[in-house]
Amino acid sequence: MSNPCTPPSATRAAPSNPPPILPPTPRRAAVALDKALNYQVCILSGTANRPLASEIASHLGLPLAAATVSAFSDGETRVAIDDSVRGKDVFIVQPTAPPVNDHVMQLLLLADALSRASAKRITAVVPYYGYARQDRKRHPRVPISARLLANLIQAAGVHRVLAFELHAGQIQGFFNLPVDHIFAMPILLQYFQDHPAPPRDARLVVVSPDAGAVERARRLASALDAALAIIYKRRSAPNVAHVLCIIGDVRDAHCLIVDDMVDTAGTLCNAAETLKENGARSVRACCVHAILSGPAVERIAASCIEELVVTNSIEIKEETKAALPRITQLSCGKLIAETIRRIHREESVSTMFTSE
């Protein structure tokens, strides 16, 4: 007989199959800890490339934070953060692409607004760093504009910079704060391994269009087990280049031109024509940043380039895509999102590229 002083619940038999107690997944546990400490990731964007910012936020399982970016009638930029960012780890996704000065100003004002709104850490995610080609004094009495832009970003209150494929790696030294520099090589390599030049056993030559792109071309050529060629050129003025000679054998080869950006496309199209004149069977090109200013679209459309592969570090307008059906755009959103996750978790970023 049961003890009358024992509560009824104590005499009940335990269920035969109790529900399992599952440990939380690492990601859920990390998100819960962030929420408890009020140190959550926040993704913010100006108007430079909202589709990329939305993609990055989606990969992280986050909404894109609300911000108002507009202009007064006199042209002054106006920004306002519409969500609370107090105590948060905020990442501003803002390439300084054309119109460069407007997008630079948006980045600076967003950083200042976040600093005054008590964000715990502000990271400028710069998929394309404008003014990067003005990284040294080529002539007397000229500025080092890339350094000045770095000073402005720091003065605005940014604590850290995440840069994607800088024109020159030494730009990292212009900052007196941590800079994480990531590369497009994994994205490009995967694409060209999946889409080799026809036929698959044909001779592939990776071509550097100038001396500055040799290291990038060398790494891709090594990964694709291809030969390397270099085009020697001379500049007579900004955006004006003249091809002088080709170092390497491109006859009867399928050529792949590799560069970090395509602006007016003069260098790219001249290089492609020179390769065809020297016996190349086909010419493709890949450039990380598709600026496509001035006569770039018309030049590429009229060139012998069969395919131009770029990333979405800079937003390409729909009319440009329609005028250039041979352009292929690869996404860098997942790569940047993973880098943001690692920065927030204080994990290594360099291990993402050590296999190259």
Decide if 155 is inside a domain. Answer: yes
Query: Per the domain annotation, does 235 fall within a domain?
Result: yes
Q: Is residue 99 reached through a cis peptide bond, with omega within 30 degrees of 0 on the bond before it?
A: yes
pLDDT of residue 216: 93
Answer yes or no: is pLDDT of 11 > 50: no
Backbone angles phi, psi at 225, to 5 degrees: 55, 50
Q: List pLDDT tens digits, range 245-281.
A: 899 999 999 999 999 999 999 989 999 999 999 999 9
pLDDT at 201 over 80: no
- Name the domain count of the chain: 2
Q: What percent of the chain has pLDDT over 70?
A: 85
In a domain, 209, yes or no: yes
Give the three-state DSSP class for 169.
helix
Q: Let me know if residue 273 belongs to a domain.
A: yes
The CATH code of the domain that includes 62 is 3.40.50.2020
Nearest to 149 by CA among 98, 212, 107, 99: 107
Residue 290 lies in a domain: yes
Per DSSP, the three-state class of 254 is strand
Measured CA angle at 114 (ends 108, 120), to 5 deg: 125
Q: How far apart are CA 44 and CA 23, in angstroms?
A: 32
Q: What is the mean pLDDT of residues 304-331?
A: 96
DSSP 19-70: PP-PPPPHHHHHHHHHHHHT--EEEEE-SS-HHHHHHHHHHTT-PBPPEEEE
What is the 8-class DSSP label of residue 208? Answer: E
> Over 119-136, what HEC string results?
CCEEEEEECCCCCCCCCC
pLDDT surpasses 60 at 15: no
Output the CA angle 41-45-48, nearest 5 degrees: 150
d(CA 185, CA 191): 10
Confirm whether 283 is domain-assigned: yes
Domain shared by 175 and 203, yes or no: no
Asked whether residue 9 carries a pLDDT value surpassing 70, the answer given is: no
Q: How far apart are CA 299 and CA 292, in angstroms?
A: 10
Residues 6+ apart with CB under 8 A from 183: 164, 165, 353
229: pLDDT confidence band, cut at 50, 70 and 90?
very high
Separation between Cα atoms, residue 293 and residue 263, nearest integer Å: 5
* 88 belongs to the catalytic site: no
Q: Helices 145-155 and 100-116, interaxial angle, to 10°?
A: 20
Exposed/middle/buried for residue 162 (C-beta within 10 Å: 0-12, 13-18, 19+): buried
Question: How many CB atoms within 10 Å of residue 166?
Answer: 20
The overall average pLDDT reported for the chain is: 90
Residues 179 and 193 both lie in one domain? no
Rounded Cα distance, 274 and 310, in Å? 21
Q: Does 211 lie in the same domain as 165? A: no
Catalytic residue among 88, 120, 233, 317: 233
Q: List phi, psi (to 5°) of 190.
A: -60, -40
pLDDT tens-place string over residues 154-176: 999 999 999 999 999 999 999 99
- Tokens 């993704």 sit on residue: 43
Give the whole-angstrom CA distance, residue 182 versus residue 352. Answer: 9
- Mark whether 176 and 192 lie in a shared domain: no
Beta bridge partners of 161: 124, 179
Q: How confident is the model at residue 17 (pLDDT cuts 50, 70, 90)?
A: low
Cβ(135)–Cβ(171) under 8 Å? yes
Candidates 121, 180, 196; CA nearest to 353 is 180
Which residue range forms the structural domain that includes residue 293?
A: 186-331
pLDDT band at 10 (very low <50, low <70, confident <90, very high): very low
On whether both 211 and 130 belong to a single domain, the answer is no
Name the CA dihedral angle for 40, 94, 269, 171, rounded to a multiple of 10 degrees.
Answer: -80
Q: Bridge partners of 207?
A: 229, 257
Residues 43 and 175 grouped into a single domain: yes
Report the pLDDT value the prediction gives residue 320, as an integer from 0 to 100. Answer: 94
Is the confidence at residue 22, as pLDDT, over 60?
Answer: no
Q: Are residues 212 and 301 in the same domain?
A: yes
278 falls within a domain: yes
pLDDT digits (tens, 9 = 90+) for 45-96: 999 999 999 999 999 999 999 999 999 999 999 999 999 999 999 999 999 9
Rounded distance between C-alpha atoms, residue 71 and residue 102, angstroms: 10
**Same domain? 200 vs 140:** no
